[in-house]
Amino acid sequence: MNIWLWILVAVVAFLVGVAIYDVLQKRHAILRTFPIIGHLRFLLERFGPELRQYIVTNNDEERPFSRDQRRWVYASAKRQNSYFGFGSDNHFDEHDYIFIRHSAFPATAPSEGPVAVAKVMGQWRNRPGAFRPESITNVSAMSFGSLSGPAIEALNRGSKIANCLHNTGEGGISKHHRHGGGLIFQIGTGYFGARDDTGKFSLDVLLESMKDAPVRAIEVKLSQGAKPGLGGLLPGAKVTNEIAEARGVPVGITVASPSSHEEFHDVETLVDFVESIAEATGLPVGIKSAIGQVDFWADLAAHMATHNRGPDFITVDGGEGGTGAAPQVFADHVSVPFREGFSAVFSAFANVGLQDDIVFIGAGRLGFASDAVVAMGLGVDMINVAREAMLAVGCIQAQKCHTGHCPTGVATQQRWLVRGLDPTDKSVRLANYIDALNHEMVKVATATGVSHPALIDPANIEIRNGDGQLHSVTEHYGLRAEWFGDARRSKLESALTD
Ligand SMILES: Cc1cc2nc3c(=O)[nH]c(=O)nc-3n(C[C@H](O)[C@H](O)[C@H](O)COP(=O)(O)O)c2cc1C
Ligand code: SF4
Q: Are residues 296 and 410 in the same domain?
A: yes
* 140 Cα to the center of ligand 1, angstroms: 6
Checking DSSP bridges between strand 137-139 and strand 98-100, what pairing results, if any?
unpaired
pLDDT, residue 61, reads: 79
- How far is residue 486's CA from residue 490's CA, in Å, rounded to a whole number? 6
Query: For residue 306, is it within any domain?
Result: yes
Taking CA atoms only, the protein residue closest to ligand 2 atom 8 is 395
Q: Which ligand is nearest to the CA of 335?
A: 1
Query: For residue 43, is it within any domain?
Result: yes
Q: What mean pLDDT comes out for the span 204-223? A: 97
Q: Are residues 155 and 229 in the same domain?
A: yes
Q: Are residues 160 and 70 in the same domain?
A: no
pLDDT, residue 47, reads: 72
| pLDDT tens per residue across span 393-442 | 999 998 889 898 999 999 999 999 999 999 999 999 999 999 999 999 99
Q: What mean pLDDT comes out for the span 259-263? A: 96
pLDDT, residue 49, reads: 62
Query: For residue 108, is it within any domain?
Result: no
Query: For residue 128, is it within any domain?
Result: no
Across 278-413, where does the E strand assignment appear?
285-290, 313-317, 359-363, 382-385
DSSP letters, 469-488, are -EEEHHHHTT--GGGGSHHH
Q: What mean pLDDT comes out for the span 288-305? A: 98
Q: Which of 96, 129, 164 is the C-terminal boundary of a domain?
A: 96
Q: Which residues pair with 359 in a beta bridge?
A: 313
pTM tops 0.75:
yes
pLDDT, residue 60, reads: 79
Instruction: Identify which of 65, 140, 148, 433 to mutate to test ligand 1's pocket (most ligand atoms within 8 A of the CB).
Output: 140
Query: For residue 456, is it within any domain?
Result: no
Q: Are residues 86 and 142 in the same domain?
A: no
Q: Are residues 79 and 196 in the same domain?
A: no
Q: Which residues line ligand 2 (CB under 6 A)?
A: 390, 395-401, 406-408, 410-411
Q: Are residues 172 and 80 in the same domain?
A: no
Q: Are residues 71 and 141 in the same domain?
A: no
Q: Which residues line ligand 1 (CB under 6 A)?
A: 140-143, 146-147, 169-170, 186, 221, 224-225, 288, 317, 321-324, 363-365, 367, 385-388, 401, 411
Q: Are residues 91 and 142 in the same domain?
A: no
| pLDDT tens per residue across span 324-348 | 889 999 999 999 999 999 999 999 9
- The boundaries of the domain holding residue 59 are 3-96
What single-letter amino acid sits at 119? K
Judge contact between 367 and 137, C-beta under 8 A: yes
| pLDDT tens per residue across span 449-495 | 999 999 999 999 999 998 899 999 999 999 999 999 999 999 999 99
Assess whether pLDDT exceeds 60 at residue 53. Answer: no
Query: For residue 466, is it within any domain?
Result: no
* 363 Cα to the center of ligand 1, angstroms: 8
pLDDT, residue 96, reads: 94
Q: Are residues 157 and 36 in the same domain?
A: no
Q: What mean pLDDT comes out for the span 369-381? A: 98
CATH of the domain at 162: 3.20.20.70
Q: Which of 96, 123, 151 is the C-terminal boundary of a domain?
A: 96
Query: For residue 370, is it within any domain?
Result: yes
Query: For residue 65, is it within any domain?
Result: yes
Q: Which of 64, 96, 128 is the C-terminal boundary of a domain?
A: 96
Number of domains in the chain: 2
Assess whether pLDDT exceeds 90 at residue 192. Answer: yes
pLDDT, residue 52, reads: 66
- How far is residue 412's CA from residue 395's CA, in Å, rounded to a whole number? 11
Q: Are residues 277 and 415 in the same domain?
A: yes
**What's the whole-number average pLDDT of the chain?**
94
- Ligand 1 nearest atom to the CA of residue 322, by list position: 21
DSSP class of residue 432 equals H
Q: Are residues 16 and 163 in the same domain?
A: no
Judge contact between 404 and 414, C-beta under 8 A: yes
Confidence of residue 50 (pLDDT cuts 50, 70, 90): low
Q: Which ligand is nearest to the CA of 257?
A: 1
| Crossing angle between the packed helical segments 369-377 and 423-447, to the nearest 10 degrees | 60
Q: What mean pLDDT comes out for the span 213-240? A: 91
Assess whether pLDDT exceeds 60 at residue 308. Answer: yes
| pLDDT tens per residue across span 123-167 | 999 999 999 999 999 999 999 999 999 999 999 999 999 999 999
Q: Are residues 79 and 151 in the same domain?
A: no
pLDDT, residue 340, reads: 98
Checking DSSP bridges between strand 215-221 and strand 182-187, what pairing results, if any?
parallel
- How far is residue 141's CA from residue 469's CA, in Å, rounded to a whole number? 37
* 325 Cα to the center of ligand 2, angstroms: 11
Q: Which ligand is nearest to the CA of 143?
A: 1
pLDDT, residue 54, reads: 56
Assess whether pLDDT exceeds 80 at residue 1. Answer: no
